[in-house]
Amino acid sequence: MKKYDSQLFELVKKREIAPDIFDFTLKNGEIAKITMPGQFVHIAIPGMVLRRPISVCDVENDCIRIVFRIKGEGTRTLSQAKIGDKFDLLAPLGNGFKVEKGKTYAFVGGGIGVPPMLYSAKQADRAYAVLGFANKDAVILCDDFRAAGCETIVTTDDGSFGIHGFVTDALRDIIDKIDGVCACGPIPMLKAVAELCRENGKPCQVSLEERMGCGIGACLVCACKTKSGDGVEEYKHVCKNGPVFNAEEVVWNG
């Protein structure tokens, strides 16, 4: 059995769940079967030289679900796909969050960093979902996290929905009840979450993104600076060593 492959997927369900944010369900049983929480897919988009890496939001039976935001030409083209269209996905790629049995985790997502947390949260025995958005219009997937059994807390930057504040404000309130944190979102948010975890002695895993080439660790472009226990710095690669890293090893301004 291959660890990953480039294969065709069929778009079987599509919905715009917030302005410019799309929820796609793509069918390929062989790949869906081996896809783990926190991994990503690398999608070939007609007319683009490079594939686009997008995190797996969920896996159900023969299908992989991805939720992405239109960011440029590639994701715009992808958003215009029709049901029945076929896409070449290189998948599943990367390493996901390590979720241990019997422990309580907080799954912290910010904006388009929320979708990658869903499938991972489903693996935990006890989970909080702490989801942060810019405003009410940008709120996505809350019902999915609740349906997955997560105690779900939502924050918005402008207070138009849920708690007025950042995910760290909500995380601080529950930090004593959890054993670890898994997070994905903008770098300033991840830095703040990692700092809060460090202060409270909680292990923190973060999912990072970087402009990517091959997706499998051969071209070395998606570099992330890391530091080992003895202080030696090196560039690891988001596609192969990540996208999930222990927050302690990430050099945030690298």
Among 148, 224, 244, 247, binds another protein (CB under 8 A): 224
Q: Answer yes or no whether residue 242 interacts with another protein by CB under 8 A.
A: no
Shortest CB 224 distance to another protein, Å: 7
Q: Answer yes or no whether residue 219 interacts with another protein by CB under 8 A.
A: yes
Q: Answer yes or no whether residue 149 interacts with another protein by CB under 8 A.
A: no
Q: Which stretch binds another protein (CB under 8 A): 9-17, 44-52, 59-67, 137-145?
A: 44-52
Give the footprint of another protein on residues 66-105 (CB under 8 A). 88, 90
Shortest CB 89 distance to another protein, Å: 12
For the record, the structure tokens of 5 come out as 């492959």
Q: Answer yes or no whether residue 12 interacts with another protein by CB under 8 A.
A: no
Shortest CB 218 distance to another protein, Å: 4
Q: Which is nearer to another protein, 142 or 238 (CB)?
A: 238
Shortest CB 1 distance to another protein, Å: 10
Shortest CB 26 distance to another protein, Å: 18
- The residues that touch another protein, with contacts defined as CB under 8 A, are 2-6, 44, 48-51, 88, 90, 210-225, 233-235, 240, 254
